[in-house]
Structure 1
Amino acid sequence: MFDRVAQIVRLAETRARERGIAYRGLLAPEEAWTLVQEHPSAKLIDVRSSEELTLIGRVPGALEIEWRQYPEWELNPDFLAEVKARVAPDDFLLLLCRSGVRSREAAELLAREGFRNAFNVLEGFEGDKNAASQRIVAGWKARGLPWSH
């Protein structure tokens, strides 16, 4: 177990270094799920809006803390306080949004605020759109990871 977790963390750190990322690492969805299952301090934080969670689906067991609020998509002024109230500073924070953009922003903020173990989950919950504007080719759902409505 520890070897697999360490290998995933090293790979995520390498991806971040190669892209000049200031937070701890970049995780593939399957890697994030493995960390959630095998690392005792891994916390999956879903930063999508409550409307997205209701309409699109949620990840069982994820901490749901909005980064931007629907319908204006303004930053949640309580985001940092909500995170601080629900996790420890050294927890592994695995941030997930719809496509990986908002979770990247949230990971950047958390790293600046002293959370050393902030990771972005690449592809997000649904990934980018295909040629037909459908989100079915990548992401947490498309990879068959746990989710529900």
Structure 2
Amino acid sequence: MNAKINTSDHLKSAEKISSEHIFQQAQQYAEDHDLNFTGSVSPVDAWHLIQQGQAVLVDVRTNEERKFVGYVPESIHIAWATGTAFNRNPRFLKELENKVGKDKTILLLCRSGKRSALAAEAAFNAGFEQIYNILEGFEGDLNQQQQRNSQNGWRIHQLPWQQD
């Protein structure tokens, strides 16, 4: 008997398993670190989920950061804080619900992963059930010289980004 394997079905199955594994790891990370939201993912895993249509990317940085540092193409922008003083955006949750919706799986991105974690916690407490933080953020952690973009982050992983 000569059985044919449908390669595209096999690939879809592998992609689904991989995405499910990423979500499981993210949720385990949240449990291990006592996070008050769904989970955290690496930039590489976040990009995989976005490419597979499994999640929506929301950039929570300021307009200034996006303009002067760069951003991920086709990301949705909803600032968690505004201006150079990082004043908390009181409309953040309403904007998130209006632009994305509570029924979507949402990945939040900031400079280093700290503001996006705060935003994820606020969103989770407001009823967003599938809300994830992207670890390392867009620019990554500070190195010994107090500089970013040198050891980790979205850009260091050579994931898509642009600057106007």
Q: Percent identity?
A: 39
CA contact (8 A) 1:5 1:39 kept: no
SS class of match (2:107): strand
Does residue 19 (structure 1) correspond to residue 33 (structure 2)? The answer is yes
Equivalent residue number for residue 7 of structure 1: 21
Determine the C-alpha separation between the residues in 2 that align with 1:83 and 1:29: 21
Unaligned runs of 5+ in 1: none
Equivalent residue number for residue 100 of structure 2: 87
Unaligned runs of 5+ in 2: 1-14
SS class of match (1:139): coil
Equivalent residue number for residue 147 of structure 1: 161
Question: Following TM superposition, by how much is the alpha carbon of 1:131 offset from its aligned partner in structure 2, in angstroms?
Answer: 1.2
Instruction: With the length of structure 2 as denominator, give the TM-score of the two structures.
Output: 0.88
Q: How many equivalent pairs are there?
A: 148
Equivalent residue number for residue 7 of structure 2: none
Question: Following TM superposition, by how much is the alpha carbon of 1:88 offset from its aligned partner in structure 2, in angstroms?
Answer: 2.2
Determine the C-alpha separation between the residues in 2 that align with 1:131 and 1:55: 23
Amino acid at match of 1:102: R
Runs of 4+ in 1 over 6 A off after TM superposition: none
Does residue 50 (structure 1) correspond to residue 63 (structure 2)? The answer is yes
Task: Point out the structure with max Rg over C-alpha.
Answer: 2
Instruction: With the length of structure 1 as denominator, give the TM-score of the two structures.
Output: 0.96
Determine the C-alpha separation between the residues in 1 that align with 2:107 and 2:62: 17
Equivalent residue number for residue 131 of structure 1: 144
Question: Following TM superposition, by how much is the alpha carbon of 1:77 offset from its aligned partner in structure 2, in angstroms?
Answer: 1.3
Question: Following TM superposition, by how much is the alpha carbon of 1:91 offset from its aligned partner in structure 2, in angstroms?
Answer: 0.6
Determine the C-alpha separation between the residues in 2 that align with 1:127 and 1:140: 7
Equivalent residue number for residue 104 of structure 1: 117
Does residue 65 (structure 1) correspond to residue 86 (structure 2)? The answer is no
- Deviation string 1:63-116 (CA, Å, 9 cap, x unpaired) is 011001112211011111111111121211100000001000000000000000
